Chains A and B, each alone.
Chain A
Amino acid sequence: MIVKMSSEIPARNKMRICVVYLLFIFTICGSTNVDTVSSDIKIKNVDRIIDCSSQLVKTTSKITLENSGKAPIKSFLLAIENVLKDHISFLGVKDSHNKDLRLIETTVKGYDYIKFYRVELKDAINAGSSSILTAESVFTKALQPYPTAITQQEDQLVKFNGNLYFFSPYYVISQKTNVILNTKSVESFTKVKPFSQLDGTLIFGTYSNIGPFTEKELSVHFKNNSPFLTVTRVERLIEVSHWGNIAVEEKIEIEHTGAKLSGPFSRYHYQQDHHSGPASVRSYKTLLPASAADVYYRDTNGNISTSNMKVKKDSVELDLRPRYPLFGGWKTHYTLGYNVPSYEYVYHSGNEYLLKMRVIDHIVDDMQVDELVTKVILPEGVHNIKINFPYSITKLPDTLHYTYLDTQGRPVISFTKKNIVENHIQDFQLRYTFPTIIMLREPLIVVGSLYALFLCVIIYVRLDFSIHKPEHAHKD
């Protein structure tokens, strides 16, 4: 867990000390992030599944680690191959008890061009014994549409370039890779024996005795008509009110990043034949929290009248249809907003409050988000703000927001992150102090100003301000 602090709000000594302390820890961590590849570790077996059926590439690797040395090992390294290095969005490792393990990005001398993560094991692996771990990673934009432009009637073909072998700094004794495509129409793929094709799945392996850092191109060219929707930017605004409501508003820009539409669009064909435009996106589903109410879906020109809402047991399902179907290269933008009751997300003891909300919420299934900016607007008079994030996030400078009856402004905590997928839907924790008495201020402002107004009217009516006595009505 990485903790970062807001250092902008002045006059909070306690917090400042915390910040300094944490920054100190940070710098220490930063400087010591150099590891060496232990020769004691061997990988007995890797079962790798590469799921290419959506627009994301999700890999799940079951790794059997073996300690062939003498001392117990507490950590090991995961490496990301060069081909996919720039596409990685999420990496998580679980141990055999299905517990998340801590990951720290690191480097290894001599392999500067490779991205490494150090995985800290909860239970050390003793000499001679082995342990099974599951590494999960998600890559965005790893599937390239090829050809890059298609006509309305054509299917979308994409190409995946990866590594045929499990990329690891350790010696791998045996490994097997399943590539899930969910389609039988595969144009071409790398053929390194032994391999087989089964329904929508390509199976490579078993390959044995692959040395560390072995890269061999795995290329699959296949049909993929799943929605290629990239959320290019999300601005998520969370406005907390202590009167019992939290308003969430998301401004979303979305683009179809699959093969671009070339040539004309024909409404006739699109209407006559439902299979026309197979790669286009007519609608998609967004899941909101179960308690979401007062949902609105609009853009700069007003409501988007084509949407449906279904209230389910554990969520509110929105079937959003953009104003027009999205073909490759087409964009749209909209604002989605809703209210949730604050008791589900705000906890308190005395004047100390804790807000637990998602950094980002679900937008599309298998979503990929290029840029996220989340802003949390807290009530006026809140101080001592501390925030915890579930993963590394860039904090933006704090600002103030003025709305109804505000005098000193509401603190706004904002942060941003790039390259986000569904696995990043996790809670952040925001602690702050809020004296309850402040809640009375705004009603008092209203009452006070009305009182002053009536007083003025009363005084004006009772007193005569005219310079001279009014004459009698003018007679014509």
Chain B
Amino acid sequence: MPTTAAAKPVNGHNQGIFHNTTGFSTLITVTVLTLAWLAGFASRLFAVIRFESIIHEFDPWFNYRSTAYMVEHGFYNFLNWFDERAWYPLGRIVGGTVYPGLMLTSGTIHWLLHALNIPIHIRDICVFLAPVFSGLTAIATYLLTSELWSRGAGLFAACFIAIVPGYSSRSVAGSYDNEGIAIFALQFTYYLWLKSVKSGSVFWSICTALSYFYMVSAWGGYVFIINLIPLHVFVLLIMGRFSQRLFVSYTVFYIIGLVFSMQIPFVGFQPIRTSEHMAASGVFALLMVVGALKYLHSLNPKGEWKQLLVLGTLVAAGAVFLAVVALTYMGVIAPWSGRFYSLWDTGYAKIHIPIIASVSEHQPTTWSSFFFDLHVLVCTFPVGLWYCIKNINDERVFVALYAISAVYFAGVMVRLMLTLTPVVCVLSGIAFSIILELVLREDDPTQAPVETEESKNLYDKAGKVKKRAPEPVQTQDQGLGLYARPGTVIAFMILLMLFSVHCTWATSNAYSSPSIVLASYGNDGSRRILDDFREAYGWLSQNTAEDARIMSWWDYGYQIAGMGNRTTLVDNNTWNNSHIALVGKAMASNESAAYEIMSMLDVDYVLVIFGGAIGYSGDDINKFIWMVRIAEGEHPKDIHEADYFTERGEYRIDAEGSKTMLNCLMYKLSYYRYDSGGSPPGYDRTRNAMPGNRGFKLTYLEESYTTEHWLVRIYRVKKRDEFNRPRVPISKRTISTSNSISKKTSKRRKGLLKNKPTVVKGKKMRLE
């Protein structure tokens, strides 16, 4: 690991034989950052090396699909893209419902490379975008940390963030998602914000606003920035650290950032209409009031204004708060959204929005995952935080707030671990830097002047980094003995080594699975690839009608659209809860009731994931209880969660399972003709049980395709003339068909003449 080896000399070797110490330290900085970039890039390539250059998981498939669309049709067509392949029959206005930053970034890279005649496929750009951006994140973290503490700490932080699993979990090659570029934007915005607070220059504030604009275009997490920066300003006000610099930087940033953020179609008027953004406007108003009062105070600085200043500030704060509350009640400002609520009340989602609770990454974080994602950093970052608070200044207030809020959010949702990781790296970088500086310092009093001289002489870009001589540290240098130093150094080297080993291991084992290609290992170590997902999607894309509509649970919506190129009913953009509930209801109903729903929704094929044959636990039967819950939320009369449990409250699929469970569509589609698998034929390996209902026949659907390992099963929904008809001898059949049938088949596809009642014996008519 380059971290320790190269970061050391920055602090220790400054007064060596080299005349040009600035050039030398710049060289080291550039080398370390380049190596960090390389190490970060390389450690994210496990999936590409083990499998192939492929887009992972679910959401990335949508991002990839829309990027490909944008590259093919141009940016403006992308903004106006109405995707009729999603949310049938509603469709989706993609341009207005995505954060286009990701697509724009890779589209721009694609355009640039093709302008240089480098014919790289857009898929490869998408796959490698996140690892490349991890390098940029490392640099942004370096800048942020050196702004906060020192360049040595910055190099530590850069090396940490390059490989830490908490960040690489979201940015391995192939996980083409907003977070991949957003963390870079986040860190860079914070860096620029600190820069502007420090300098009070309009230039840096505008840069902050521009960087914030990029962040808004890239990820919904921009709300974190637009709340944290006002919080920073607010706390500074409370601490009595108001300054002209703060005033200039925040007002410029707020106004320009606001105007910019409203340019993103998906964000639109939200920054002035929703509660999530109100803190920023409130602080803006407050800052104005404080600025005005300060000005008045400066006119007559003789004391009697002082109480007025404090009182005025308090009144203004109260007025702003009351105004926001009043506007919320009047309905001008939208109240907090459910997702935001669930950050404060962890039980909220479970009761009110099961669709959010059903996603595993929205669960509260466990202690072990803190350690898993951050390893030794989780222990060292309080040290950095302590030093920051101890030597407080305007910027360190910011990083303290950043750390405290991020720790809270990371505790609420596993997913928000991602926002904690950068600040942990920053603070741990500071901690390691302090400790090593302490240990490695030679007892030479000339060191301090050298360092300050150095900061004057910097002539290239790095020269703009302002150096802060960590004076308090120097005073504590006395207590270290002769043997304590090498001992501490060795201990810390070992820690860092363990850290890097853990990072590589965690990235490789936990975060580098593409999840659309599964691999299993035989007893002899040979690898078997289970490629069932792509088998099924490939089948769909080649062997079904172009406009066929596929019903599946929403998890697979993006993949069906991306790989199968077919119309889906619901997908991972879970914007319409009732539509999802309808699909859930169809899956939870018995076959005939489901048929009514399916024909109402014009479903041609049903796709279910069944892991029973190979023991794949993420299949639809295991997710089924969420389908029931979501369906019950919208259709409480028809679906009751309790019906799917046994009397003792167990969720079972064997003979003891409840009758409703054993006859619902999801159960039947999963176990239809399932007789292979474990040692007794038909044994379900995932749930370790023998299915309770076997050998049944399907009336309304027929098996169209099942993949090699039974993982994906596709059924065709029969048309009304295909089932439940009395058998007519062949001789009679030929007489009646000639005209009427051909008419029907030609129009059946368009779905227009469906209302025409077809007489089906012994069946009730459609509900319409």
Contact = CB atoms under 8 A, between A and B. Distances in A.
Given A268-B676, A323-B534, A324-B538, A303 B52 contact: yes
Contacts of B460: 461
A236 B544 CA distance: 27
Nearest to B119: A403
A266 B535 CA distance: 16
A137 B261 CA distance: 71
A112 interface: no
B720 interface: no
B563 interface: yes
Interface string A263-275: 1111110011000
Interface string A229-266: 00000000000000000000000000000000001111
Contacts of A461: 459-460
A345 to B, nearest CB: 23
Interface in A305-331: 305-306, 323-324, 329-331
A472 B199 CA distance: 12
Contact of B563 (A266, A301, A333): A301
Interface in B518-552: 529, 531, 534-535, 537-539, 542-543
Nearest to B466: A473
Contacts of A272: 675-676
Contacts of A330: 539, 542-543
Contacts of B455: 473
A185 B563 CA distance: 42
A302 B52 contact: yes
A61 B525 CA distance: 56
B459 A331 contact: no
Given A266-B703, A331-B542, A331-B543, A473 B676 contact: no
Nearest to B710: A267
Contact of B198 (A271, A323, A474): A474
Contact of B117 (A263, A332, A402): A402
Interface in B19-56: 51-54
Nearest to B464: A470
Contact of B535 (A298, A324, A473): A324
Contacts of B52: 298, 302-303
B441 interface: no
Sorting the interface of chain A by its residue count into under 10, 10 to 19, 20 to 34 or 35 or more gives 35 or more
A332 B539 CA distance: 8
Interface in A424-476: 461, 470, 472-474, 476
B744 interface: no
Contacts of A406: 117
A403 B705 CA distance: 41
B199 A474 contact: yes
Contact of A268 (B535, B675, B704, B705): B675
B191 to A, nearest CB: 16
A395 to B, nearest CB: 25
A267 B460 CA distance: 67
Given A272-B676, A301-B537, A323 B531 contact: yes
A406 B118 CA distance: 9
Interface in B701-724: 702-708, 710, 713, 716
A265 B704 contact: yes
Contacts of B707: 267, 324
A266 B713 CA distance: 10
B625 to A, nearest CB: 26
B704 A264 contact: yes
A305 B517 contact: yes
Interface in B673-729: 673-676, 702-708, 710, 713, 716
A290 interface: no
Contacts of A404: 117-119
Contacts of B54: 301-303
A230 to B, nearest CB: 14
Nearest to A332: B542
A405 B117 contact: yes
Interface residues of B, number: 43
A265 B703 contact: yes
B352 interface: no
B394 interface: yes
A365 interface: no
Given A303-B52, A323-B535, A264 B702 contact: yes
Contacts of B748: none
Contacts of A402: 117, 119
B420 to A, nearest CB: 27
Nearest to A472: B456
Contacts of A405: 117
Given A324-B535, A332-B538, A473 B703 contact: no
B143 to A, nearest CB: 16
B485 interface: no
B445 to A, nearest CB: 22
A100 B3 CA distance: 73
A470 B703 CA distance: 75
B393 interface: yes
Given A301-B537, A302-B54, A305-B517, A403 B542 contact: no
Contacts of B415: none
B467 interface: yes
Contact of A299 (B118, B463, B517, B538): B538
A267 B703 contact: yes
A462 to B, nearest CB: 9
A302 B534 contact: yes
Contacts of B676: 268, 271-272
A476 B198 contact: yes
Contacts of B673: 266-268
Given A403-B119, A474-B198, A476-B393, A265 B705 contact: yes
- Residue with the highest number of chain A CB atoms closer than 10 Å, among B460, B537, B704, B705: B705
Contacts of B198: 474, 476
Contacts of A304: 531
A371 B650 CA distance: 60
A476 B531 contact: no
A298 B51 CA distance: 13
Nearest to A253: B542
A301 B534 contact: yes
A410 to B, nearest CB: 10
A277 B676 CA distance: 18
Interface in B194-248: 198-199
Interface string B496-534: 000000000000000000000100000000000101001
A277 to B, nearest CB: 12
B395 to A, nearest CB: 9
Contacts of B702: 263-264
A268 B674 contact: yes
A402 B117 CA distance: 6
A446 to B, nearest CB: 12
B339 to A, nearest CB: 32
Interface string A398-420: 00001111100000000000000
Contacts of B535: 323-324
Interface in B113-137: 117-119
Contacts of A299: 538
Nearest to B243: A476
Given A402-B119, A404-B118, 18 more contacts: A264-B704, A265-B706, A266-B673, A267-B673, A267-B703, A267-B708, A268-B675, A299-B538, A301-B54, A303-B54, A304-B531, A305-B517, A323-B539, A324-B535, A324-B538, A332-B538, A332-B542, A472-B456
17 contacts: A266-B673, A266-B703, A266-B706, A267-B673, A268-B673, A268-B674, A302-B53, A302-B517, A302-B534, A304-B531, A324-B538, A324-B705, A330-B539, A330-B542, A405-B117, A473-B456, A474-B199
Interface of B: 51-54, 117-119, 198-199, 393-394, 455-456, 459-460, 463, 466-467, 517, 529, 531, 534-535, 537-539, 542-543, 563, 673-676, 702-708, 710, 713, 716
6 tightest CB-CB pairs across the interface, nearest first? A267-B706, A264-B702, A323-B538, A305-B529, A302-B54, A323-B535
